[in-house]
A and B are shown apart, each in its own frame.
Chain A
Amino acid sequence: MSDAAALEYYQRISERFPQPPQDVRIAAEEAARNGLEGINDDVMAKVAFYPWQRRFWITVVVVLTVGFILDPVITGSILSAFLVVLYSLTVYGRMRITFTGILSDPPKQDLLHLVADDDLPMYTILMPAYDEPEVIRNLVRAVDEIDYPHDRLELLLLLEEDDHRTLDALLEVELPASVRVLLVPPSEPRTKPKACNYGLHFARGKYVTIYDAEDIPQRYQLRYAVAMFENSPDNVVCLQARLDYFNDRQNLLTRFFSIEYATWFGCILPGLQALNMPIPLGGTSNHMRTDRLIELGGWDPYNVTEDADLGLRLAQNGYRTLVLDSVTMEEANSDTVNWIRQRSRWYKGYLQTWLVHMRRPRQSFQHVGFRGVLGMTTVIGLTPALAAVNLFAGLITVFFLVGLPSFLSGVFPPWVVYMGTAMFFFGNALVIFSSILAMIKMRKEHLVWACLLFPLYWFLMAVAATKAVYQLIVKPSYWEKTQHGLTEAGE
């Protein structure tokens, strides 16, 4: 589209959906990209590796390469021993968090004192969307179903100015009065957090939350959030609602995804909360105090899991995140390749986030303590890292088991073989067992049988993690777009 045609298109859209003055838009866009930098550029993922981190990882790669050239057996055995120990510690850490979560009892909705209608504050919902014309109708339905006074509800639909497919679809529907469409000026990076920052610039609510366009939040979720904020200490600035899937029976992949989400939101996050560890936020349905969010600089536009990053940044600044006992229904990704793309973005973002928050390790230890750094490393850093190693380790294991090559016998000294085998059987069985317990706790008994097939899912995770590591080096801020709206066709 030529510039003139683009301008004409923009004018046509802005007639239907009025936009702020151009200078305000430009200022907001600039703040969306660089607002965080002005506050603390140390926490931006604009550069994936800090200089010392780059030097460290290059040294590791060089040492390993030289080691494999000079003495592959010694180097391989040291590396395999290190990985086995790391696996063992990670499984222990993760199980500790999961079982703490399973045994914990988070506050229930009925224990909260709901705030009277007259006392409800202004609430802003940010809803970023890109190239998703198919979910616009769902958006309208979802807004209608939210139980909150509409005069105190502001929904900012954040669309890219050149996203013509979604805009065309939008022209065909009648939007509720509380919905305001904001067109984000096109600029790099084209990420969801940048769009959210843009929306935050115009937000008028005391509290702000994010929903994806295809989300179906629980009807009273905003009321619960307000009630919980009002009954919590001031340092509680974020509430994370539980995410669940409405299409969990569509196919095996959606079942796996649902098991994972149920375990994550039902057990791991409550476990982190109970152990007083930093909570990485989920992609949507995280409710925040707007003023504190602005004070922190909003989201990192260069981080592809800006939610997880924000969760850790809140913890680093002494704020707390609690789990909100309310559910938002989403669409589980039902296509394998689409899932791998989405998951690779999440894993890349996790790695970005961990690297960002470990740029100054001493500060991190001071701010969140040893336990906090341990939790952050186990959940955020090692999850994708070990998933990436899994593909290679899995291949080597297959080679070792079926081929028994003599050089691998040297690489795996007996104690490593026994410990690795124990981890292989005991560790994996434990993870499957904890998933089954989580399904029982979350009243999802129909997914228990799928837990037994979870190793298939781990293979996909390993592929996604490998892709994430590759992209972290080659294109760290590239946003892998996930396609939504596959449920109907899939079923």
Chain B
Amino acid sequence: MESLYQRHGCSIKVWIKILFVVMLLLSSAKAHDVFEKHCVACHAKLPASLERIFFNYLLIYSSQKDTKEAIIYYLKSPDKDISLMSDLFLDTFGVKKATKLDDKTLKKAIDIYWEKYNVMDKIR
């Protein structure tokens, strides 16, 4: 007599795999949402693209670690003196407010930002 698992074993495995992939995509989408929601949403209204700002950081801080640390520091304690934007930009749009995001979310958003624009994977 065939057991329930033997009869439906194959299809259960497939369903588990599908479920795993869906969860992964959802989690990724959710993470991506963090960046889209908390960064892109506001920057889309500004004339300076996120990519240009990223290259400004790269020009000063060079490595991944230093760049990420500098962005996080600025987002938490924004100041005209340490901003990498031009004076004209700052005079026009002012200095942003300090972020209210928690460290974990902020780190996640910055990681996505680095992955999105970093040079190493794209240059050829």
Interaction A to B: no
Question: Which residues of B come within 8 Å of A, CB atoms?
Answer: none
Question: Which residues of A come within 8 Å of B, CB atoms?
Answer: none
